[in-house]
Amino acid sequence: MNRIFSGIQPTGNLHLGNYLGAIRNWVDLQGDYECLYCIVDLHAITVWQDPAELLASTREVTAGLIAAGIDPEKNILFNQSQNPDHASLAWIFNCVARLGWLNRMTQFKEKAGKHRENASVGLYAYPNLMAADILAYKGTHVPVGDDQKQHLELCRDIAQKFNSDFDVDCFPLVEPMILGPATRVMSLRDGRNKMSKSDPSEYSRINLTDGREDIALKIRKAKTDPDALPSEVAGLEGRPEAANLVSIYSSFISKSPEETLAEVGGRQFSEFKRDLTELAVSVLGPIGEEMQRLVDDSDYIDGILRQGGTKARVISGPIMREIQEIVGFVQP
Ligand code: TYM
């Protein structure tokens, strides 16, 4: 049986990269699969989080997912700490994964930077928890942006090693689903860096809560080059900012960059940016408004997360018992 699992961190604002790289695909997949969508608060605390901000962000991200179209009745929407099975399985995976595997993780190197000795143990073991998130439900498909590819390869390695160490066929090998023309949305200020919550420049990203004025300003200020848009994808070579705006535009209109360029090739950026602004406002405007409305009702949001947590535990419970038996633990 196919089962989708994906996660998102409750840190900072949801941005266009999260939306086009992940959330929009989650919405599209929800009718065809059993889906678990998780706000990963255990992952968030691998770096320091102010408790009040973490709580507010968890509710805000939940509101954002519902506003974007995730149906909390048809899917399982919950925050990770509601289900202790994630942390229990992560411990087992800490004992399966090898130090050498984690040493190769580029996101740890990027996040820990020069202060490696001072990074939390949790940040280092982050990918093991991510594998546990998915495999506690025997998830088979994981829709994510391009930046999560290496973590999902590690999840496959862990599943394979567990199966072979214990000579069982317990875990599936997960399939990453990296979908659409905007799998890696780049910063609006520098087309070589990923759009991210941690970029100090507000102009580098469009947030789902940005109003028309902010969206228009950020797109107008987005870095471009002096040439007109090419009519073929080959003409985007060496033009990372132009390529980024074309993939964002393509994603909004659900076409490939080739099809987009066949339409807009030859135009100047000023005109293209005006159209892109209208598209962004028409898609993001209603989501931002609905998100603001929902976030004020924290009782509703907390109720959704608790209900999701209960449904999640019903699925992971028997899987955890199977795993405990395989490992040789006395059943609780
Ligand atoms: P996070 O919170 O950084 O991002 C959530 C999702 O948004 C995608 N994304 C992007 N896609 C395209 N362009 C961008 N600039 C961009 N920025 C973010 C991410 O690829 C992701 O799909 N480790 C994960 C959360 C996680 C998880 C999991 C995901 C925890 N457990 C299990 C899948 C399965 C993360 O930090 O995502």
Using H for helix, E for strand and C for coil, what is the string for 120-185?
CHHHHHHHHHHHHHHHCCCCCEEECCHHHHHHHHHHHHHHHHHHHHCCCCCCCCCEEECCCCCCCC
Strands 141-143 and 175-177: parallel
Question: In this predicted structure, what is the pLDDT of residue 131?
Answer: 98
The residues of the chain scoring below 70 in pLDDT are none
pLDDT of residue 1: 79
d(CA 92, CA 44): 20
Q: Is the CB of 6 under 6 A from ligand 1?
A: yes
Nearest Cα to Cα of residue 67 among 318, 329, 300, 328: 300
> How far is it, in rounded angstroms, from Cα 244 to Cα 242?
5
| CA 244 vs CA 144, 186, 208: distances in Å | 18, 6, 18
Q: Where exactly are the structural domains of the chain?
A: 3-183+298-327, 202-293
321's CB contacts (< 8 A; 6+ apart) are 331
Q: For 159-183, how does the pLDDT look when each residue is reduced to its tens digit (9 = 90+)?
A: 999 999 999 999 999 999 999 999 9
- 138 has catalytic annotation: no
Q: Is the CB of 152 under 6 A from ligand 1?
A: no
User: What is the structure's pLDDT at 262?
Assistant: 97
Spot the catalytic one: 74, 109, 114, 194.
Answer: 194
For ligand 1, is residue 148 a contact (CB within 6 Å)?
yes
For the CA of 11, the nearest atom of ligand 1:
2
Residue-level pLDDT at 113? 87
- Alpha carbon distance, N-terminus to C-terminus of the chain: 27
Q: Is 37 helix (H, G, I), strand (E, B) or coil?
A: strand
| Other Cβ atoms within 10 Å of 189 Cβ, number | 18
pLDDT in tens, 177-221: 999 999 999 999 999 999 999 899 999 999 999 999 999 999 999
- Other C-beta atoms closer than 10 Å to the C-beta of 19 total 24
Q: Which atom of ligand 1 is nearest to the CA of 126?
A: 23
Are the folds of 3-183+298-327 and 202-293 the same? Answer: no
133 CB less than 6 Å from ligand 1?
A: yes
pTM greater than 0.95:
yes
CATH of 3-183+298-327, one of 3.40.50.620, 3.30.110.40, 3.40.50.300, 3.40.640.10: 3.40.50.620
Class in CATH terms, 202-293: mainly alpha
Under a CB-based contact definition with an 8 Å cutoff, are residues 133 and 86 in contact? yes
Instruction: Report the pLDDT value the prediction gives residue 114, as an integer from 0 to 100.
Output: 86
